[in-house]
Amino acid sequence: MNEYIENTLKESKQKVLINNIYTYIKDSLPNGFNLDYVLNFIKKIVPEHLIYGLETIFIGQFDELDERSLNSIYKDGTIYITNYQSDEDNMVEDLVHEIAHLVEERLAEYIYSDQTIIKEFLGKRNRLYEIMKAEEYGVSKEYFDELDYNEDFDEYLYQHIGYDKLTYMTMGLFSSPYGATSLREYFADGFDFYFLKDPGYLSKISPKLYEKIENLVFKEYEE
């Protein structure tokens, strides 16, 4: 991926997000798409110190996104995001989600070392398992004890159970069903919700996660 990008940079358009973070447009965005709005909005809502470590954003078509059916991915200081965007808000949400993964990677020791978020996540996973068992879904308990992403579990949730039913079962537990798929996505999903939706609601359903994000925002931590 990186070699291909390096060979196409000279033909790309670029914009500056914050300081020396460049956004390269490899493949054209939809007509009328307002990228300036997207970048300025993120600059406004996400504190600059939380974007530290982000070097580049590439917009376009990338094999890794296609192969994994993803809209965006964070990798090695870079966010790769598809140019197929329904609207500006959709891109904002994708970028904030990947910034969350950047923050989590850089500050993982602070975020997880006291175990509070891990315990909160596993408690919610256990509650979800009990709900599914009551609904007579025959899913293995082992999945619910894992912290890492499991593709088989994700596929079971979204294809066997379905998004509508999963949304109902996770209501009041997770800020969105995707937050149930792994510890990392639990953090990233909460990060999205804090900045883009309703931090007050997040504080009610996930108080430990909310507190940790608040500390990150107001720099109540040591790197």
Domain end marker among 89, 106, 123: 106
Largest Cα–Cα distance in the chain?
A: 57
Q: Which two tokens stand for residue 163?
A: 């998004």
Matching residue, tokens 């390269």: 24
Residues 174 and 93 in one domain: no
177 within a domain of the structure (yes/no): yes
- Same domain, yes or no, for 34 and 53? yes
If asked whether residues 136 and 65 sit together in one domain, one would say no
Instruction: Indicate if 120 and 185 belong to the same structural domain.
Output: yes
The answer as to whether 101 is a domain residue is: yes
In this structure, the answer to whether residues 60 and 120 fall within a common structural domain is no
pLDDT at residue 2, rounded to an integer:
56
Q: Are residues 6 and 47 in the same domain?
A: yes
The closest alpha carbon to 65, from 83, 87, 80, belongs to 80
Half-sphere exposure of 136 (CA within 13 A, CB side): 0
Are 79 and 166 part of one and the same domain? no
Q: Which alpha helices (H) appear in the chain, and where do they start and end?
A: 2-8, 35-45, 63-67, 88-106, 108-112, 116-134, 141-144, 151-155, 163-170, 183-196, 199-205, 207-217
Q: How far, in Å, CA of 51 to CA of 46, rounded?
A: 8
pLDDT tens by residue, the chain, 223 residues: 555 555 555 445 677 666 578 899 999 999 999 999 999 999 999 999 999 999 999 999 999 999 999 999 999 999 999 999 999 999 999 999 999 999 999 999 999 999 999 999 999 999 999 999 999 998 889 999 999 999 999 988 888 898 889 999 999 999 999 999 999 999 999 999 999 999 999 999 999 999 999 999 998 877 7
Residues 117, 184, single domain; the answer is: yes
The residue out of 106, 132, 151 marking a domain boundary is: 106
Query: Is residue 223 in a domain?
Result: no
Instruction: Judge if 32 and 128 occupy the same domain.
Output: no
Q: Is 164 inside any structural domain?
A: yes
- In this prediction, residue 4 carries a pLDDT of 52
Domain-ending residue, one of 106, 125, 152: 106
Neighbours of 93 (CB within 10 A): 16
User: Would you call 216 helix, strand, or coil by DSSP?
Assistant: helix
Number of domains the chain is built from:
2
- List the domain range (segments joined by +) for residue 61: 2-106
Q: Output the domain CATH number for residue 60.
A: 3.30.2010
17 within domain boundaries: yes
- Residue 171 class from Cβ within 10 Å (0-12 exposed, 13-18 middle, 19+ buried)? exposed
Domain-embedded: residue 59:
yes
Q: Distances from the Cα of 83 to the Cαs of 15, 37, 51, in angstroms? A: 15, 15, 21
- Does a structural domain hold residue 125? yes
- Single-letter code of the amino acid located at 206: S
Centre a 10 Å sphere on the Cβ of residue 218 and count the other Cβ atoms it contains.
9
Q: Which helix (H) or strand (E) holds 16?
A: strand 13-16
Give yes or no: residues 206 and 137 share one domain.
yes
Dihedral pair phi/psi, residue 80, rounded to 5°: -105, 130
84 and 37, same structural domain?
Answer: yes
- Are 92 and 187 part of one and the same domain? no
